[in-house]
Structure 1
Amino acid sequence: MTSFPESSHPTDQTTPAVVTGGIFPPLTFLTSLEPKAWGPTVHLVLAAIGSMFNALVIYIIAKKPKMRTYPNIFVLNLAVADFVFCTVATPLIWTVVLLEELGGWLQHVFFVSYVACAIVSVLCLTTLSIERYQAISDPIGHMDRSSRKRAWIINAGLWVLAIALSILGYVFILSSATFIPTLVSFLITFVIPLLVISVSYGLLFKTLRQNRGLPVGSRSDIKSRNRVTRMVTAVVVAFVVSWLPEHILNLLYISSTKADNKALPYGTWACFMLQIVNSVSNPFLYALLGERFGFYIRDIVCGKGNTKREQPMEKREDGKRNGQIESTRL
């Protein structure tokens, strides 16, 4: 996440200054951007859409017992992170900017919620990528290990770790907005998780090539695993595209004494918009690539007509291997 040093690039004397560092977003330069109507409006409208659709994903998984599968618990965790990002972090940043409540409790809540959601998302995607490799390379062992209790424990641990890191970063990194802390933050919160994800997918696709033509499971099992893998891949790609520009902008700015202060706030605004768009787009990826999300969304939005078409498929699935297939479905 973005950080910019105040010392190298002084802000307008009339603008409250905030020194940010490490993994924290650029409040200094958001405040230097005049809060005209279009600025917060675009962000808040997108955030409202993201809140609504992520709340729908959370409702579907919580309400429908068949949706509480092992991979869907991780999807639920991502949806909660996106919901908090859209509902808490995004409105708070503009509340802080517009009210100029810099240094107050609103800023503290914003920083922690923003960073915690970002860390939870990247950790959850990293865990899902490893889980996808295990599901392809060792489907039987993965099925034995894929208990809902284990998924809940892992996701709770991700939140505890993310909140602890965000608070520690806020306390210890905020006062040191220099290149080294920023680079370390970039490596820990983006590069290393992305490297783990890349290795997991490299091994996954290597396993798929080696097992091509081998009977590693029923046709339904294979189709379900492939569908989950495609969805996780799409969500990972969307996350990288949405968050990488801010990291690049931050590193370029903090390593240069010739950065354009006038253009930077607009670049920061655009990067933050990309992050909101990422939270908005994830529910659509679940619906398009998930096996059941589309059915339940149409059922909720359009009425009960789609349920009848879904029930026969569920009945066939329930009879296979005592419901083990359910642990892999979306």
Structure 2
Amino acid sequence: MSFFLRLSKRTSASTPPDSMDGFNWTSASENVTESSSQLFPSYTTNSFSEMPASLPFSVVTAVIYTIVFVVGFLGNTLVIYVVVRYAKMKTVTNMYILNLALADELYILGIPFLGTNSVLSYWPYGDFFCKVYMTADTMSQFSSTFCLTVMSIDRYLAVVYPIRSSKWRKPQVAKVFNGMVWVVSFLIVLPVTIYAHVQDEFNACNISWPDPNDLWSIVFILYTSILGFFGPLVVISLCYLLIVIKVRSAGVRAGLTKRRRSERKVTRMVVIIVLVFVLCWLPFFTTNIVNLIYIIPENNATATVYFSLVILTYVNSCANPILYGFLSDNFKQSFQKVLCLYKPNGVGTTDQTRGRQGAPTSLQMEVVPNADREPFTSKTAVNGQ
């Protein structure tokens, strides 16, 4: 969400705007409050020459953003492909992961626009694409948060009410919820679509709030922070708290051991994905809330901090495919198959032999409802079905 939640500030400067290394160094007249969609708080000064001579970001920024873009784009594309391609990957949890990968992909695609804007110091794509970009960028963040929330609720139902929820915990239902996530996200970001445009004063793609500008900006920051992060975080935390209580209070029942192991493995994967998301986004949202109360000074140190907060949010989007590969045998074997790294005569044969000696987890999952078939059997991975 690189163009999102920028705080408004006032200055009496009349210096034309400039942009350097992803930071929008801007100024405005006294009666104008610039409320930009740029992630970083406004950096203003009476004279651009008074700004620090340089930031240690020129080459570093380009390298970091390039790496994050390549890894994130290829990784999420790979996730989308394996879920769509292989029938055995179409579990309830994987449907939500597919939606999360789509949101991450959309967010990652914003990096070239951010880079172009930084290099040229202005928005070259026109007013229409400004609205499209701003809307898509903001929607991707809301969709990610809501998708993680739905995944957490699904985990709660799978663990706490496994039999009762099996009637509607199906991939088809998950697809409906995925669609609802995008519809709700679009409705929430409508203010961005309405008020985002290329400002004539700065030729920058920003949000220009109506009067009173300051009030609109503050309300928007609180509105997006609560609906887009802190509110869903409360729901997610409550779900896993109830899961922990349930797991601790439940006794071991005969015949459910394998199913429970599978559910716990899937739940662990979702929990780790959520934790990484929180760690990557919490500093950003916290900084914006703090900046409402205490205006953070504008200098090289804070510029470095803001850059780190932004790149951290992009790192989250490119880290998720890596997490899937490490935490899910299904994804790991599917990735290996697509990348031609899977060895059916080596590891696969060992897995098949092991599977014949002990009841395969995936077979158990097909018998017991609510199972997400974790992990793959070797036969499934080889045949891709």
**TM superposition score normalised by structure 1:** 0.86
- Measure, in 1, the Cα distance between the counterparts of 2:106 and 2:338: 22
Corresponding letter in the other structure for 1:183 = L
| 2:115 counterpart residue number | 94
Unaligned runs of 5+ in 2: 20-25, 28-33, 45-50, 197-206, 375-385
1:26 maps onto 2:47 in alignment: no
CA contact (8 A) 2:281 2:312 kept: yes
1:149 maps onto 2:152 in alignment: no
Corresponding letter in the other structure for 2:35 = T
- Measure, in 1, the Cα distance between the counterparts of 2:230 and 2:170: 30
* Partner-residue secondary structure (3-state), 1:329: coil
The 1:253/1:9 distance shift into structure 2, 3 A limit, reads farther
Residues 20-69 of structure 1, C-alpha deviation per residue, up to 9 Å, x if partnerless? 36x86338559x98772322331122111111111111111111100011
* Partner-residue secondary structure (3-state), 1:112: helix
Aligned length: 327
Aligned partner (choices 197, 200, 208) of residue 236 of structure 2:
197
- Measure, in 1, the Cα distance between the counterparts of 2:43 and 2:112: 17
The 1:171/1:223 distance shift into structure 2, 3 A limit, reads same
Give the drift of 1:322: 5.3
CA contact (8 A) 1:132 1:229 kept: yes
* Partner-residue secondary structure (3-state), 2:248: helix
Corresponding letter in the other structure for 1:305 = K
Corresponding letter in the other structure for 1:231 = M
Cα RMSD, aligned residues only: 3.1
Give the drift of 1:95: 1.8
Larger CA deviation: 181-190 vs 105-114:
105-114
Larger CA deviation: 172-181 vs 274-283:
172-181
Corresponding letter in the other structure for 1:190 = F
1:183 maps onto 2:205 in alignment: no
Corresponding letter in the other structure for 1:203 = L
* Partner-residue secondary structure (3-state), 1:109: helix
Larger CA deviation: 64-73 vs 242-251:
242-251
The structure, 1 or 2, with the larger RCO (C-alpha pairs under 8 Å, 6+ apart) is 1
Q: Percent identity?
A: 23
Structure number with greater Rg is 2
* Partner-residue secondary structure (3-state), 1:292: helix
Unaligned runs of 5+ in 1: none
Higher helix share: 1
Corresponding letter in the other structure for 1:138 = Y
CA contact (8 A) 1:71 1:327 kept: no
- Measure, in 2, the Cα distance between the counterparts of 1:43 and 1:123: 25
- Measure, in 2, the Cα distance between the counterparts of 1:126 and 1:326: 18
Larger CA deviation: 252-261 vs 43-52:
252-261
| 2:8 counterpart residue number | 5
- Measure, in 1, the Cα distance between the counterparts of 2:164 and 2:11: 54
